[in-house]
A and B are shown apart, each in its own frame.
Chain A
Amino acid sequence: MKLGGWLLCCALAAAAPGAAQAVDAQPGAGLDQLLQLLAARRHGHVTFSEVQQLAVLDRPLQSSGELVYDAPDHLEKRTLQPRPETLILERGVLTVQRGARKRVLSLRDYPQIVPFVESIRATLAGDRASLERYFTVSFSGSLDQWTLELVPADAQLAHTVRDIRIAGERDELHTMEIRQTDGDASTLTIGAALNP
């Protein structure tokens, strides 16, 4: 009997992936253009820094590292500071490597993790179908200075995440803010490109 996988899953009361109802929030032409622009970009390698505010902690957690993206579904988040950790999202499977320990999670089995990783991956890929499967998407601003607001469309997802705000210009992402329902929040800031 193999328990580990699903126990991890239920370490948070198990949530079921429901059939999300995508509500069209007047995406308009702006969103279409933006997603086309993003989809055209096949590769990215940038630095990032992240600040996380958790209610249980006195001070925010700070981390930094590199992000690597290859269209359409390979995303790597290499945290270098304060401690090395690598997250690789590839075709719906999340691999977490921390020290000698490696954990492999299928998003299908861990729907709770979906909003945290699919939000950025689907945005980078310009994958409207995926975005709208999990979120109600609203676009504001212009192509030169845009903001996407993602609100979980599914009650189960909305249980943990209140909303996600991604801002950028043209085909470059600048920040991603995730606000959780318990008040915890994180801000990911994207820095300089590392490779052409």
Chain B
Amino acid sequence: MTRAGVAGSVIWALLALGAAAIIARANYTADLSAFLPRRASATQRLLVEQLREGPAAHLIIVAIEGADAATRAQASIALAARLRSNPAFIGVNNGDATQLERDREFLFAHRYLLSADVTPQRFTVSGLHAAIGDSLDLLGSPEGVLLKPLFTRDPTGEMLGIIDSLDASHSPHTSDGVWSSRDGARALLMVQTRGAGSDTDAQEAACQALRHSFAAAVAASPSARRAALRLAMSGPPVFAVAARDTIKTEVVRLSSISAALIGALLLAVYRSLPALAFTLVPVASGALAGVAAVALGFPAVHGITLGFGVTLIGEAVDYSIYLLIQNRSDFRRSVWPTVRLGMLTSVCGFTALLPSAFTGLSQLGLFSVAGLIAAALVTRFVLPAWLPQALSIRDLTAIGSWLAVALEKVRAMRIALVALPLLAGAALYLHRDALWNRDLAALSPIPAAEQNLYERLRADAGAPDVRYVTVASGADRETALEAAQALTARLRPLADAGVIGGFESPSAYLPAPATQRARQQSLPPAPELTARLAEALAGLPLEAERLKPFLADAERARTGPELSRADLEGTSLARAVDALLVRSDPGWSALVPLSAPGPGELSDEAIAKVRAALTWPVGPHAQLLDLKGEADRLYGGYLADAVQLALAGFGAIVLLLLIMLRSPGRVLRVVAPLALAVLAVAGLLVTFGHQLTILHVVGMLLIVAVGSNYALFFDRSAAQPGQGSLALTLASLAVANLATVIAFGVLACSSVPVLADLGSTVAPGALLALLFSALLARPAVDARAEGH
């Protein structure tokens, strides 16, 4: 080994150790954060924060199926009891009487602070007369049965007013005393986990605990039909766990399959185990460097990045293939310049991804840039020194010659390539309306069956997808609550007019302190109220004597303490307040979700009316947040971002080639086949019914980055006929290409959409890039003559 070789090996070993140390200490995640933006507007931050850490991110909807309604209800109660005693859960609700009783008691005990009907007017003589008269009417109707027991304490009907003000349109049904699906076939529970939404380990532990508790509850069930009970659960925590599992298994599975297939390919080509081992050194070095670079550049390495990393196998393995198959003795002079230029074009392409707001893309960019540079450097400076002189691999000249002859034959048909842009253009034009998939869900690694289960359970629970949320902000909780109160005052007329179905405000459960004080002051002192009540009852079939409990309650409310968040503890209203009153840097935001008056979403007309109500000239700041629209805009931003970055990457590659090749004609010959391959793949994808996503765009950039290697070798053969054997060059390109197609082809079979999209673009693209490069290259020497 030369001195340079020794130095190279020592540096390599040190760097590899350093990288391994960084990798060992890095953080890894596999939640959905790769799909969330790094830079965002205030609204998007709120949206993303809600998606990641909001109460919805902690909600698991649990369904108990099978057996009969009574057995399900009994299991629901037993499961809820077990979960309530488990600190992994902060809220467990199954609609059973205990929970409802606690909520009811809270609302009833604090009715004079909670009811929006409590105004000074209400407790004047005429106000009392009217309110009590209304309650008497109610007593006579079937609903009166429900309210009769409360009448002497609440003759003005505040409790009913509170209940009416809560949005009742979507409550779950009740069957055998617990929540059930609309058709009564499933018992339902809503479970809130304690762990942070991004803490997938905690969510996984919670899901496990839930399954164990269910098994224990079933085992303890006295019902003969308990064996028929089944558990179904869904929600963001379940998704986070499923996504991580899927990504984990996919990454391991795909890398192993790729490695095995490429290993088998190379073994078949080289017929030498040591040669195979040497080939993998640059790939492994590149992978180490890539992961270490991402670990240094980002707070956490995303699992999906490792999945993309499979692609590195496809490209980095090319370098050592060129080294081993082409001219090994004169590698530095005859092959390396082309490999280097190919590597630089790829790096140009991937560098364009670095500034992406989409974390997944920028990690992919950094991973690939670092990985390719490392792999190329190892191929150039480390590997040649390691190769034993005696290493012999199969001579591929014969295969290369055969390829050259075959190529010569199909070359005659290359005129047909003219039709390709036309055909691809026609396909793209025909699908122009549905060319892009603008749905963020297209990137979700959660299987469709899981998503369907979630939709079904959510519909069962009567918790429709909330699309529109009005947001009132303030410097602290109290001002945010006040703002929410002002907001509800504007929304109330819209709800009464049926423009919107209803809304849910945190101020309904926890009114702002100023509002609470105003309501207390609306209640007259006991002697005054007693006098007014006596007068108000004139003409009503009721004696004041009977309403003594009312006078006592009113006095207690008037002089009692104000409500605080702590008073809600133990009720399911606490969860609602926490869900709707959130910290949003800077300050606090009160979320007031809107529901549609009927099935479906709010109409544009209704939205316009809501917006008009919000842009009242005076009052606190409030805005309408369209969650779906915002998420789609977010994704649309990524997509536009990705297209721009891909174009910039392409531009950078062309610029680099212009500088290195110094000939527009040669650059055109290198770039034209790549552009054709991209067009052809885009045409094929839409023809086969794919809608293009962000990952297809990235894939097209990769076609250019990877394909440029092939085109450059043909360019070299044409420009410097003396450099290397054409047959061996062809053979090495074919092997390298096959390795790339295998790596991306395996990726195309992934069940993770982002990986599949990338694979299904690059695998055919790389193949076509090689074919078109070969067809469009200027013939250098007579291949047949050289082969013999």
Contacts and interface: CB of A to CB of B under 8 A. Distances in A.
A158 to B, nearest CB: 14
Interface stretch (B135-143, B200-208, B220-228, B684-692): B135-143
Contacts of A106: 173
Contacts of A2: 166-172, 462-463, 504
Interface stretch (A9-17, A21-29, A125-133, A147-155): A9-17
B100 A6 contact: yes
Interface stretch (A33-41, A97-105, A136-144, A167-175): A97-105
Contacts of A182: 148
Nearest to A10: B100
A14 to B, nearest CB: 5
Contacts of A57: 136, 139, 541-542
Contacts of B147: 11-12
A5 B168 contact: yes
Contact of A113 (B107, B137, B142): B142
B538 interface: no
Give the interface residue-count category, chain A: 35 or more
B415 interface: no
A85 interface: yes
B164 A13 contact: no
A126 B107 CA distance: 42
A61 B135 CA distance: 12
Interface stretch (B174-182, B314-322, B558-566): B174-182
Contacts of B101: 10, 13-14
Interface string A49-74: 01010101111110100000000000
B467 interface: no
Contacts of A7: 100, 103-104, 107, 163, 166
A1 B572 contact: yes
Contacts of A8: 146, 160, 163, 168
A150 B504 CA distance: 42
Contacts of A109: 171, 173-174
Contacts of B543: 58
A5 B139 contact: no
Contacts, number: 149
Contacts of A112: 145-146
A106 B170 CA distance: 12
B546 interface: yes
Interface residues on B, range: 35 or more
B136 A113 contact: no
B579 interface: yes
B139 A96 contact: no
Interface stretch (B149-157, B336-344, B512-520, B521-529): B149-157
B685 to A, nearest CB: 43
A12 B142 contact: no
A4 interface: yes
A105 B159 CA distance: 17
Contacts of A186: 140
Given A10-B97, A11-B146, A160-B145, A1 B542 contact: no
B263 interface: no
A94 interface: yes
A162 to B, nearest CB: 13
Nearest to A116: B142
B576 A1 contact: yes
Nearest to A51: B140
Given A63-B140, A82-B137, A96-B141, A10 B104 contact: yes
B611 to A, nearest CB: 24
B496 interface: yes
B142 A56 contact: no
19 contacts: A1-B190, A5-B168, A6-B172, A8-B160, A8-B163, A8-B168, A12-B147, A14-B177, A16-B176, A56-B546, A83-B137, A85-B137, A98-B137, A98-B138, A103-B143, A105-B143, A112-B145, A112-B146, A184-B148
Interface of A: 1-14, 16-17, 19, 50, 52, 54, 56-61, 63, 79, 82-83, 85, 87, 94, 96, 98, 100-101, 103, 105-106, 108-110, 112-113, 116-117, 160, 180, 182, 184, 186
* 4 pairs of A and B residues whose beta carbons are closest in the complex: A4-B168, A5-B171, A4-B166, A10-B100
